[in-house]
Amino acid sequence: MIRGLLKQPVILLLSLLLTTLTAFALGQPGQDQLDMKIGQMIMVGFRGTTLQEAPDLMEDITKHNLGGVVLFDYDVPSKSPGRNIISPRQLRKLTHELQQASAVPLFIAVDQEGGRISRLKAKYGFPESVSAARLGQINIPDSTYRSALVTAETLDNSGINVNFAPVVDLNSNPANPVIGSLERSFSADPAVVTAHAAATVRALHAKKVIATLKHFPGHGSSTTDTHKDFTDISESWDKKELEPYRKLIENGYTDFVMTAHVYNANLDSLYPATLSKRIISGILRDSLGFNGPVISDDMQMQAIAAHYDLKTAIKLALEAGVDILLFANNSSYDPEIAGKAASIIRSLVDEGTFSPERIDRSYERIMTLKQKHLDLSP
């Protein structure tokens, strides 16, 4: 009873905060409440080391109330370095410009897992980082915490508030072209993965950086890469791959969970995980009890883009329970993707496919996470 009473002021405070932020954002030209909320459900990648070099992004922020951006050091479509990150000083300036341009603080995200998957590299002047595989081999969670704390401090100093880490995929297939062979997994043992993921999350939170568990429901057993095409794990996936999620959620984890584009006929015979209501709403939400925001992996990866048109992919992802659609713009590049996605979501509401209340649920999860970790003072 006491606990329930204590929750009421928190709920009222959050409600007041969301109302205030909504009103503040609506003060921007051309915004209505639904469009503003839809904008928060979109995260994009862009080209440019300054905001001046990214006029399309500036329009996304001011016109569409974009919820977040993801940064890269290398542009895959053009095969050129220096996409968003060239030095610590430049990166701090860029992230400051981004936040200054936005009515509501942005999620500014990066893949800084450690080892080979690091966008903030030593050659640009950032600290060296250690791979998850190496930390798992050492298997001392305190060492992982110290390593992750260096990463968290680097991100915080750079103005980055979301790390797309830790990877909680099990190293079920060491030859996996996108997980095991890149040393992205702590271990094949779910208990080891859980311990080191928990240490990583604690370190990120020490610097108010948001964590991301990925790739749900498990990508470690795959033999192909979802960046390139359809990836079927029906015969290789094991339910123990859910254990890190289960344990961390039981211990109160409410930051991001990122979906995988993997297909598992035993969990859903029709759709890959990102588009599967059975997997996201059924397993992650209902069975595991996750209440935080779900973010998709890059919707432009070929496992999705080669098999579904944009409207169908967005519709299925939202039906499945995804809260934020990620368009990294680094498999293919479309400077208008945020506006296209926002327009599609709005049309799905206007035509009655989704109710405004469905948008509200995602918006509230997103803003609750922003309120917890970011400075939301208007």
Minimal CA–CA distance to 226: which of 298, 120, 284, 281? 298
Is 307 in the active site? no
The DSSP letter of residue 279 is I
Provide the token pair at 211.
Answer: 């964590």
Contact call for residues 362 and 293 (beta carbons, < 8 A): yes
User: How does DSSP classify residue 282?
Assistant: I
Query: Which of 210, 220, 366 shows the shortest CA–CA distance to 294?
Result: 366
Active site residue 56: no
Measure Cα distances from 31 to 36, 63, 66, 97 in Å.
Answer: 6, 7, 12, 21
Q: Which two tokens stand for residue 276?
A: 């599967």
Active-site annotation holder among 196, 215, 219, 227: 227
Asked if residue 323 lies in contact with residue 368, where contact means CB atoms within 8 angstroms, the answer is: no
Whether 66 contacts 42, CB under 8 Å: yes
- Would the CA dihedral through 376, 69, 359, 340 be positive or negative? positive
The single residue listed with the structure tokens 């680094």 is 330
Measured CA to CA, the distance from residue 317 to residue 276 in angstroms comes to 7
User: How far apart, in Å, do the first and last CA atoms of the chain sit?
Assistant: 34
Annotated catalytic residue, options 297, 298, 323, 373? 297
Q: Which residues are catalytic?
A: 227, 297
